[in-house]
Homo-oligomer: A and B are copies of this chain.
């Protein structure tokens, strides 16, 4: 952590709680740094008349370009932020292939990413001390497109894919025996149509913020810092969160137009989070580094929205098992009423059909397992066939994908009419998300000790 002006001192914060309103202990944000940067920059200019260049401190009357929260979510803590943090509005997620085979270079990268994440989540530039600081004849230490923007509740959540431990049959980085058993190779699910270019990755970074430019800036700068060591494998923007992760949030809607994630696990579900979200230390000593972490399942799920939009309201509600307007289960009540799968209507047919999504996805039908979902709606241009390429970028955090994702997804892929007729999984990833970073530490430190 040497060289990082934000890494030292202070008690560890407990992440996942409500965002703090402070701007971090160094106390100067990107926006406030514009003037200072001008001074610093001018000082670095030799041989050019600083006055003529106008590089004296000019404190522009900055105001946020978009109407976003200025709150800061603490980066340090027992858990990584971005899991139980109340879901921000926008996503930029990227998976990287690691191109170096040098263990020291990988550790250096994780330390550099840690320093950059500490700075950016606090609303600072990655360089840490100003907008355009550093030598005038060197590349800027920050790409600059977030200079006038607040922290925007940015969280950066890091995970490790199976390819970090072993690739093409060859162990990597001296990590033999450290791959957690739960970091499985996901099985092929019926109907999977995975694009290799949208699947896998050795490292993943989930950037969530209330301003998309803040999230994009973060991923772009991590990619910049990783130049020569990592390559972007895939990258996904999400424009509308499809889950709430706090009871303080309204349930959002997916691109089927239905409320999504009503029964999601939420930050307030302390005991259930230990049961379903936070990983233990595994069976072997080699994976003790994952204690307090989680597993991130990412699935790019294309929705056939054009076909859906020509389906009757009756059929849509029967497929989902809830009303479209209020999100109440078809067995009655309001949105948060527990679905009653036994109650029948005319002809003794269950009011919530046997193949309804809400029934098949319910914990009662899945051995009691639950997950913390944190997905986003996406629209990626058109599909070349006259349709929008749109859907759900599914993200879930689970204690163990072998018990908490694979059985449910296998059942869905086989029985859920909604999934069978209107969804297509086109991308996939599974990542081990290590516990949080303490001041002075770095991402995934336990894996390398």
A interface vs B, CB < 8 Å? 34, 37-38, 41, 47-49, 51-55, 58, 60-69, 89-90, 92, 94, 97, 131-132, 134-140, 142-148, 197-198, 210, 212-213, 216, 219-220, 223-224, 227, 231-237, 239-241, 249-250, 252-258, 305-306, 309-314, 316, 323-335, 337, 343, 345-346, 351, 377, 379-382, 384-390
A234 B312 Cβ-Cβ under 8 A = no
Known: A34-B325, A58-B328, A213-B239. 16 other contacts (CB 8 A): A51-B332, A53-B332, A54-B323, A54-B329, A54-B331, A65-B253, A131-B324, A132-B325, A137-B312, A144-B324, A147-B257, A216-B255, A232-B387, A234-B382, A236-B381, A237-B379
Tell me the bound Cα distance from A68 to B64 in angstroms. Answer: 13
A54 B328 Cβ-Cβ under 8 A = yes
B382 A332 Cβ-Cβ under 8 A = no
Task: Tell me how far the C-beta of A150 lies from the nearest C-beta in chain B, rounded to whole angstroms.
Answer: 12
Can you list 7 contacts pairing A with B, beta carbon distance less than 8 Å? A34-B325, A34-B326, A54-B329, A145-B255, A216-B379, A232-B382, A235-B381
Closest to A258 in B: B144
Contacts of A316 in B (CB 8 A): 140
Task: Tell me how far the C-beta of A300 lies from the nearest C-beta in chain B, rounded to whole angstroms.
Answer: 10
A345 B136 Cβ-Cβ under 8 A = no
Tell me the bound Cα distance from A250 to B233 in angstroms. Answer: 35
A41 B325 Cβ-Cβ under 8 A = yes
Contacts of A66 in B (CB 8 A): 89, 210, 240
Tell me the bound Cα distance from A25 to B380 in angstroms. Answer: 35
Q: Which of B37, B235, B382 contacts A235 (CB 8 A)?
A: B382
Q: Which of B63, B216, B386 contacts A377 (CB 8 A)?
A: B216
B332 A52 Cβ-Cβ under 8 A = yes
Q: Which of B49, B92, B346 contacts A48 (CB 8 A)?
A: B346
Task: Tell me how far the C-beta of A48 lies from the nearest C-beta in chain B, rounded to whole angstroms.
Answer: 6
Q: Which of B34, B143, B250, B314 contacts A137 (CB 8 A)?
A: B314
A58 B312 Cβ-Cβ under 8 A = no
Task: Tell me how far the C-beta of A307 lies from the nearest C-beta in chain B, rounded to whole angstroms.
Answer: 10
A139 B312 Cβ-Cβ under 8 A = yes
The 5 closest A-B pairs by CB, nearest first: A144-B257, A231-B386, A54-B328, A212-B239, A213-B240
B310 A227 Cβ-Cβ under 8 A = yes
Contacts of A387 in B (CB 8 A): 223, 231-232
Q: Which of B54, B216, B254, B312 contacts A145 (CB 8 A)?
A: B254
A305, A330, A334, A388 interface centre (most CB from chain B within 10 Å)? A388
B234 A381 Cβ-Cβ under 8 A = yes
Closest to A327 in B: B60
B351 A306 Cβ-Cβ under 8 A = no
Q: Which of B234, B325, B343 contacts A52 (CB 8 A)?
A: B343
B227 A145 Cβ-Cβ under 8 A = no
B328 A140 Cβ-Cβ under 8 A = no
Contacts of A148 in B (CB 8 A): 250, 252-253
Contacts of A257 in B (CB 8 A): 140, 142-145, 147
Tell me the bound Cα distance from A237 to B52 in angstroms. Answer: 39
A54, A63, A237, A253 interface centre (most CB from chain B within 10 Å)? A54
Contacts of A258 in B (CB 8 A): 144
Tell me the bound Cα distance from A197 to B138 in angstroms. Answer: 39
B332 A253 Cβ-Cβ under 8 A = no
Closest to A238 in B: B212
A223, A227, A329 interface centre (most CB from chain B within 10 Å)? A223
Tell me the bound Cα distance from A327 to B59 in angstroms. Answer: 11
Contacts of A220 in B (CB 8 A): 255, 305, 309, 379, 388, 390
A48 B345 Cβ-Cβ under 8 A = yes
Contacts of A327 in B (CB 8 A): 60
Task: Tell me how far the C-beta of A224 lies from the nearest C-beta in chain B, rounded to whole angstroms.
Answer: 5
Tell me the bound Cα distance from A48 to B347 in angstroms. Answer: 11
A63 B325 Cβ-Cβ under 8 A = no
B136 A63 Cβ-Cβ under 8 A = no
